[in-house]
Structure 1
Amino acid sequence: MSDETGPRRRSLLDLVERVGDRLPDPVFIFLWLIGVLVVASIVCAALGVSAVNPITQETLVAKSLLEPGNVRLLLTEMAKTFTGFAPLGLVLLVMLGAGVAERVGLLDSAIRTLVTASPRRLLTPMVLVIGLLSNHAADSGIVVLPPLAAMVFAAAGRHPIAGLACAYAASIASFAGNPLPGQFDALILGFTEPAARLLDPHWTANLAGNWFFTAAGCLTFTLVGWWVTDRIVEPRLGPWEGPRSLGDDDQAPDAAPRGALLWAGLAALGVVLLWAALTLLPGAPLRDATAQGPAQWTPFFRSLITAFFLLFLAAGCAYGIRTRQIRKDSDVVRLAADSIAAMAPYIVLAFAASHFIAMFNWSNLGAITAIKGAAALRESGLPLPFILMGVTVLAAVLDMFISSASAKWAALGPVVVPMLMLLGVSPEMTTAAYRMGDSSLVIASPMSAYFILILGFAQRWKPGLGIGGLLAVLLPLGVAFFASALVMTGLWALFELATGPVAPFHYVIVAHGG
Structure 2
Amino acid sequence: MSHAGTGGRLATSSEKPPFIDRFLNAIEVAGNKLPDPAMLFVYCLLIVVALSAVFSSVSFDLVSPATGEAIQVKNLLDAKYLTDFMASSVTTFTSFAPLGMVLAALLGVGIAESSGYINIALKKMIRMTPQKLLAPAVVMIGAISSVAADAGYVLVIPIGAVIFHAAGRHPLAGLAAAFAGVSGGFSAGFLPSSLDPLLQSFTQSAAQIYDKDYLVNPLANFYFTFVSTFVVTLLGWFVTEKIVEPRLKSVELNKDLEEAEDMSSYTQAEDRAFKISSAVLLAMAGLLVLACLPETSPLRAENGSLTAHTAPLMKSIVPLILLFFLIPGVIYGRMTGTFKNHRDVMAGMSQSMTTMSSYIVMAFFCAQFLKAFGDSNLGTLLALSGAEVLQAMDLPGQMTIIGIILLTAVVNLTVGSASAKWALIGPIFVPMLMAVGISPELSQAAYRIGDSSSNIITPMMAYYPVIIVFCQRYVKNSGIGTIASLMMPYSIVFLVGWTAFLLLYWALGLPLGIAAPYTYPVM
Fold shared by both chains (TM-score > 0.5): yes
Is the contact between residue 170 and residue 221 of structure 1 (CA under 8 Å) also seen in structure 2? Answer: no
State the distance in 2 between where 1:139 and 1:30 align: 23
Q: Counterpart of 2:58?
A: 47
Cα gap change, 1:283 to 1:164, in 2 (>3 Å): closer
Percent identity, aligned pairs only?
Answer: 24
CA shift for structure 1 position 50 = 6.7
Q: Counterpart of 1:360?
A: 373
Is the contact between residue 27 and residue 348 of structure 1 (CA under 8 Å) also seen in structure 2? Answer: yes
Q: Counterpart of 1:486?
A: 496
Is the contact between residue 181 and residue 233 of structure 2 (CA under 8 Å) also seen in structure 1? Answer: no
Residue 91 (structure 1) aligned with residue 102 (structure 2):
yes
More deviation, 164-173/81-90: 164-173
Give 2:401's match in structure 1, choosing from 374, 378, 384. 384
Is the contact between residue 221 and residue 512 of structure 2 (CA under 8 Å) also seen in structure 1? Answer: yes
Residue 345 (structure 1) aligned with residue 352 (structure 2):
no
Q: Counterpart of 1:145?
A: 163
Cα gap change, 1:7 to 1:365, in 2 (>3 Å): closer
Give the counterpart letter for 2:493 in structure 1: A
CA shift for structure 1 position 96 = 2.5
Is the contact between residue 264 and residue 318 of structure 1 (CA under 8 Å) also seen in structure 2? Answer: yes
CA shift for structure 1 position 31 = 1.4
Q: Counterpart of 2:92?
A: 81
Is the contact between residue 30 and residue 352 of structure 1 (CA under 8 Å) also seen in structure 2? Answer: yes
Give the counterpart letter for 2:453 in structure 1: M
Q: Counterpart of 2:338?
A: 325
Residue 22 (structure 1) aligned with residue 6 (structure 2):
no
State the distance in 1 between where 2:407 and 2:155 align: 30
In structure 1, list runs of 5 or more residues that go unmatched: 151-160, 201-207, 235-246, 396-407, 441-446, 457-473, 507-514
State the distance in 2 between where 1:486 and 1:366 align: 25
State the distance in 2 between where 1:365 and 1:268 align: 47
More deviation, 478-487/272-281: 478-487
Give the counterpart letter for 1:384 in structure 2: I
Cα gap change, 1:78 to 1:439, in 2 (>3 Å): closer
What is the root-mean-square deviation in Å for CA atoms of aligned residues?
Answer: 5.3
Cα gap change, 1:336 to 1:498, in 2 (>3 Å): farther
More deviation, 168-177/141-150: 168-177
Pairs within 5 Å for 1:212-251: 216=227, 218-223=229-234, 251=262
Map Cα deviations across residues 393-441 of structure 1 (whole Å, 9 max, x no partner): 898xxxxxxxxxxxx677687985554444459999857644434559x
Is the contact between residue 66 and residue 424 of structure 2 (CA under 8 Å) also seen in structure 1? Answer: no
Residue 173 (structure 1) aligned with residue 180 (structure 2):
yes
TM-score by length of 2: 0.63
Look up the SS of the partner of 1:383 in the other structure.
Answer: helix
CA shift for structure 1 position 113 = 0.9
In structure 2, list runs of 5 or more residues that go unmatched: 1-12, 143-151, 207-218, 246-257, 431-439, 458-466, 477-484, 519-523
State the distance in 2 between where 1:332 and 1:70 align: 45
Give the counterpart letter for 2:137 in structure 1: V
Is the contact between residue 221 and residue 481 of structure 1 (CA under 8 Å) also seen in structure 2? Answer: no
Give the counterpart letter for 1:141 in structure 2: I
State the distance in 2 between where 1:109 and 1:314 align: 16
Cα gap change, 1:17 to 1:494, in 2 (>3 Å): same
State the distance in 1 between where 2:274 and 2:291 align: 26
CA shift for structure 1 position 42 = 1.0
Pairs within 5 Å for 1:42-191: 42-49=53-60, 51-118=62-129, 122-126=130-134, 128-130=136-138, 132-133=140-141, 137-150=155-168, 170-175=177-182, 176-177=184-185
Is the contact between residue 366 and residue 414 of structure 1 (CA under 8 Å) also seen in structure 2? Answer: no
